[in-house]
Amino acid sequence: MTGRKLGSADIAALLRREISKGTYRLHDRLPASRQMADEYGVARNTLREALAQLEVEGYVNTRAGSGTYITFQEKETNVAPLEDTNPLELIDARFALEPHICRLCVLHGSRQDFDLLEGLCDRMEEAVDDPVAFAEADTAFHKALAATTRNTLLIWIIDQINTVRSLDEWTRMRHLTLDGAIIKKYNAQHRQVLNAIRLREPERAANLMKEHLETARLSLTRAAET
């Protein structure tokens, strides 16, 4: 996997990301082409082709004899810090958010909301043997809970969190923790939470959600130890 030869398209993608990430900023001069080629372990030709592509896309502007300069103003948004977070931090954040979200669900939820959540529970139960499908339904469930609060801000926050959660190696790690037994336990807990919400018992719902998250935290730390 790692030994693969890089092509100009790969380098272009790499640099695009560096620029977006802020490693290189507007008006900065990139290192000399020979040096960059060396750093990335690629021929200068290849690197030059990557830069040419980026120039077409408007990321950079290169002047003979002088250098290559960034000409790209990243829209000031903000997925960057999110990428530095880790699964345990995520669980803590969910500990903060989701129990209270349950309380708000009790306040603002309607029959339709609950039926929708019920449907997602069904989907999760059908997916006991398919961690990928389960994870998808699980995400949808927690998103639907947020939506039930009718609180734009909370919905947005949960959305952001889910974006992170779906990235990169997380998923792999996540699936490590998802065997059939765990999934069954999660399913039972989801049902309990939903029932408490249906019965309009905010504190019980919140507490059940805490239990659920505690379970998730446990299986996560356990997976991390192996």
Partner DNA sequence: TACATTTGGTTTAATTTTGGATCATCTGAC
Partner DNA sequence: GTCAGATGATCCAAAATTAAACCAAATGTA
Nearest approach, Cβ of 94 to a copy of itself (angstroms)? Answer: 9
Residue 166 binding partner per list a copy of itself, DNA, none, with a CB distance cut-off of 5 to 8 Å that depends on partner kind: a copy of itself
Residue 206 binding partner per list a copy of itself, DNA, none, with a CB distance cut-off of 5 to 8 Å that depends on partner kind: none
Q: Measured between alpha carbons, how far is 40 from 14 in angstroms, rounded to an integer?
A: 10
Count of helix runs (H) and strand runs (E) in the chain: 10, 2
Residue 42 binding partner per list a copy of itself, DNA, none, with a CB distance cut-off of 5 to 8 Å that depends on partner kind: DNA
* Residue 67 makes contact with DNA by CB under 7 A: yes
Of 1, 58, 66, 84, the one binding DNA (CB under 7 A) is 66
- Number of residues binding to DNA, judged by CB under 7 A: 27
Q: Which stretch binds DNA (CB under 7 A): 40-48, 104-112, 166-174, 202-210?
A: 40-48
b/e sequence 48-81, b meaning 16+ C-beta within 10 Å: bbbbebbeeeebbebeeeeebbbbbeeeeeeeee
Residue closest to 101 by CA, chosen among 64, 155, 57 = 155
* Residue 49 makes contact with DNA by CB under 7 A: yes
Residue 45 binding partner per list a copy of itself, DNA, none, with a CB distance cut-off of 5 to 8 Å that depends on partner kind: DNA
Q: Measured between alpha carbons, how far is 46 from 6 in angstroms, rounded to an integer?
A: 9
Q: Which residues bind DNA (CB under 7 A)?
A: 4-9, 30, 32-35, 41-46, 48-49, 51, 62-68
